[in-house]
Amino acid sequence: MPSSRMRTETERMSETASQPPFFKQVNRYFDRAAAHLDLPPGLLGQIKTCNSVYHVSFPVKRDDGTIDVVHGWRAHHSQHRLPVKGGFRLTMHASEDEVTALAALMTYKCALVNVPYGGAKGAIRIEKSDYSEAELERIIRRYTFELMQKNCIGPGLDVPGPDMGVGAKEIAWMLDTYTAIARAEINAEACVTGKPIELGGVRGRVEATGRGVFFGVRETVNDAETMKELGLSTGLDGKAVVVQGLGNVGYYASTFMAEEGARIVGIIEREGAIFDPAGLDVAEVRAHREAGGSILELEAETKLEPSRAIEGLEWPCDILVPAAIENVIRAENAARIQAKIIAEGANGPTTADAANVLNERGILQLPDMYLNAGGVTVSYFEWVKNLSHVRFGRMQRRFEASQSRGLMDAVEGLVGQTFPRGTYEDIAVGASEEDLVNSGLEETMVIALQEMNELARREGVDLRTAAFMNAIGKVAVAYSERGIFP
Angle at 91 between CA 87 and CA 245, to 5 degrees: 80
What residues have CB less than 8 Å from 17, skipping those under 6 apart?
93, 327
Residue (245 or 367) nearer to ligand NAD, CB: 245
Single residue of 246, 258, 313, 366 touching ligand NAD by CB under 6 A: 246
User: Nearest approach, Cβ of 262 to ligand NAD (angstroms)?
Assistant: 18
Out of 164, 174, 267, 471, the residue judged to bind ligand NAD by CB under 6 A:
164
Which region, left, alpha or beta, applies to residue 272 given φ > 0 means left and ψ of -120 to 50 means alpha? left
> Coil, strand or helix: which one is 243?
strand
Contacts of 399 (CB under 8 A, 6+ apart): 430
Q: Which of 122, 160, 162, 201 binds ligand NAD (CB under 6 A)?
A: 162
**Of 243-251, 381-389, 427-435, 462-470, which segment contacts ligand NAD by CB under 6 A?**
243-251
Report if residue 245 touches ligand NAD, rule: CB under 6 A: yes
Residue 70 in the binding site for ligand NAD (CB under 6 A): no
244 sits near ligand NAD (criterion: CB under 6 A): yes
Q: Which of 110, 193, 212, 236 is nearest to 443 (CA)?
A: 212
Does residue 175 belong to the site contacting ligand NAD (CB under 6 A)? no
Q: Is 452 in the site for ligand NAD (CB under 6 A)?
A: no
* Chain mean position to CA 15: 27
Q: E-assigned strands of 270-399?
A: 272-275, 302-304, 319-322, 341-343, 364-366
Residue among 381, 342, 377 at smallest CA distance from 362: 342
Binding mask of the shown chain, residues 317 to 356, with x at each position contacting ligand NAD by CB under 6 A: ------xxx-------------------xxx---------
Residues marked active site are found at: 121
Among all residues, whose Cβ is closest to ligand NAD?
247
Asked if residue 204 binds ligand NAD (CB under 6 A), the reply is: no
Residue 136 interacts with ligand NAD (CB under 6 A): yes or no: no
Residue 30 or 252: the one with the smaller Cβ distance to ligand NAD is 252
Q: What is the layout of strands, in order, in the sheet containing 240-244?
A: 302-304, 272-275, 263-269, 240-244, 319-322, 341-343, 364-366
Please give the Cα distance from 255 to 248 (Å, whole number): 11
Regarding 93 and contact with ligand NAD (CB under 6 A), the answer is no
- Region binding ligand NAD by CB under 6 A among candidate stretches 246-254, 277-285, 426-434, 459-467: 246-254
Residues of this chain that interact with ligand NAD (CB under 6 A) are 162-165, 209, 244-250, 268-270, 323-325, 345-347, 372, 375
